[in-house]
Amino acid sequence: MRDPEDTLRQHDLPVTAQRVSVLRAVSHHPHATADMLAEEVRAELGSISRQSVYNVLNVLTDKGIIRRIQPAESAALYEDRIGDNHHHLVCRTCGKTEDVCCAVGEAPCLTAQSHHGFKIDEAEVIYWGTCPACQKKKR
Amino acid sequence: MRDPEDTLRQHDLPVTAQRVSVLRAVSHHPHATADMLAEEVRAELGSISRQSVYNVLNVLTDKGIIRRIQPAESAALYEDRIGDNHHHLVCRTCGKTEDVCCAVGEAPCLTAQSHHGFKIDEAEVIYWGTCPACQKKKR
DNA sequence: AGGAGTTTTTGACAAAGTCCAAATCTCGGC
DNA sequence: GCCGAGATTTGGACTTTGTCAAAAACTCCT
Q: What is the pLDDT of residues A84-114, one digit of tens each?
A: 668 888 888 777 888 876 654 444 455 555 5
The reply to whether A92 and A120 lie within a common domain is yes
Is B134 touching A (CB cutoff 8 A)? no
Average pLDDT, chain B: 82
> A74 lies in a domain?
no
Q: What is the CATH number of the domain that holds B110?
A: 3.30.1490.190
Q: C-alpha angle B77/B81/B85, rounded to 5°?
A: 100
Best probe of the A interface among B61, B90, B124, B126, by most A CBs < 10 A, is: B124
> A75 lies in a domain?
no
Q: What is the CATH number of the domain that holds B14?
A: 1.10.10.10
Residue A139 has pLDDT above 60, yes or no: no
Range of the domain at B16: 4-69
Q: Which nucleotides of C are covered by protein (CB under 7 A)?
A: 6-11, 15-20, 25-27
What total of structural domains would you count in chain B?
2
Question: Final residue of a domain: which of B26, B43, B69?
Answer: B69
> B95 lies in a domain?
yes
Q: Given phi > 0 = left and psi -120 to 50 = alpha, else beta, which region is A46? A: left
The pLDDT, as a whole number, for residue A108 is 46
Residue A58 has pLDDT above 60, yes or no: yes
Question: In the structure, what pLDDT confidence band is assigned to residue B36 with cuts at 50, 70 and 90?
Answer: very high
Find out whether B89 and B100 touch, Cβ atoms under 8 Å: yes
Residue B108 has pLDDT above 50, yes or no: no
Say which DSSP state A90 is in.
E
> B14 lies in a domain?
yes
Alpha carbon distance B128, A119 (integer Å): 8
The reply to whether A65 and A88 lie within a common domain is no
Average pLDDT, chain A: 83
The pLDDT, as a whole number, for residue A106 is 41
The span from the first CA to the last CA of chain B, in angstroms, equals 41
> B77 lies in a domain?
no
